[in-house]
């Protein structure tokens, strides 16, 4: 577990754990949501919302040596995070109950670490809240109906802490990054608000106009 206490201020504004996922996916999308308070739902976000609502439908159940809690509140003052875990399984090991966070996603495993970082951030919150060490958790993808285990190693923990720092810096700056169009823009619910192609053309036009002066 890292000793990096780069925030450590209980009075500092807490940011949603989900913001880390948004930032890795696209810093501009993160800024549009958490700085400009912009949001628009599409088919993908609607399906994801339904999945989370189903995960939140039950609050608690027990299966032998496993206790399952739903919609678990999260907070880390060290990283300045707040949020909610879809599901946390508590596995009894001797006289201890070890948390095993599970995050539900509508699609399939990503090429980047956005989902893994979000899950790791949940684990870090639980570790701080419960004073335990959590070695792993899982991501459940609705499209594949498959549960993918995630190990919270030092590399993933460092990426999670660095992402938390970057999101705080982004939000505190109050500056939305410029648009950069890529293939993933097609599935983004904020496409019509972001207008990455239009923004890119406008930027090129302004640069050309300045150079010609």
Whole-angstrom distance, CA of residue 88 vs CA of residue 72:
7
Is residue 199 scored above 80 in pLDDT? no
Q: Give residue 24's domain range.
A: 15-175
Structure tokens at 105: 């996603």
Q: What is the pLDDT of residues 36-49, one digit of tens each?
A: 887 654 444 444 45
Whole-angstrom distance, CA of residue 128 vs CA of residue 54:
27
Residue 155 in any domain: the answer is yes
Q: How many domains does the chain have?
A: 1
End-to-end CA distance of the chain: 55
Residue 183 in any domain: the answer is no
Is residue 3 scored above 50 in pLDDT? no
Q: What predicted TM-score, i.e. pTM, was given to this entire model? A: 0.79
CB atoms under 10 Å from CB of 57, counted, come to 9
Residue 76 in any domain: the answer is yes
Q: What is the pLDDT of residues 77-135, one digit of tens each?
A: 999 999 999 999 999 988 889 999 999 998 889 889 999 999 999 999 999 999 999 99
């Amino acid at each position: 577990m890292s000793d990096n206490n780069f925030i450590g201020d209980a009075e500092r504004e807490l940011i949603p754990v989900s913001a880390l996922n948004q930032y890795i996916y696209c810093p501009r999308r993160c800024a549009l949501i958490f700085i400009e308070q912009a949001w628009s739902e599409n088919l993908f976000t609607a399906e994801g919302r339904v999945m989370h609502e189903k995960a939140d439908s039950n609050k608690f159940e027990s299966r032998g040596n496993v206790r399952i809690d739903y919609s678990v509140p999260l907070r880390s003052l060290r990283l300045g995070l707040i949020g909610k875990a879809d599901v946390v399984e508590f596995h009894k090991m001797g006289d201890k109950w070890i948390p095993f966070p599970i995050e539900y996603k509508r699609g399939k495993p990503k090429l980047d670490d956005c989902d893994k970082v979000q899950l790791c951030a949940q684990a870090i919150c639980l570790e701080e809240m419960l004073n335990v060490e959590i070695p792993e958790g899982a991501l459940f993808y609705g499209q594949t109906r498959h549960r993918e285990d995630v190990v919270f190693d030092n590399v993933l923990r460092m990426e999670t802490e660095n992402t938390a720092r970057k999101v705080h810096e982004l939000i505190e700056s109050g500056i939305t990054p410029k648009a950069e169009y890529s293939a993933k823009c097609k599935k983004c619910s904020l496409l019509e608000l972001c207008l990455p192609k239009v923004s890119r053309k406008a930027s090129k036009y302004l640069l050309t106009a300045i150079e010609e002066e």
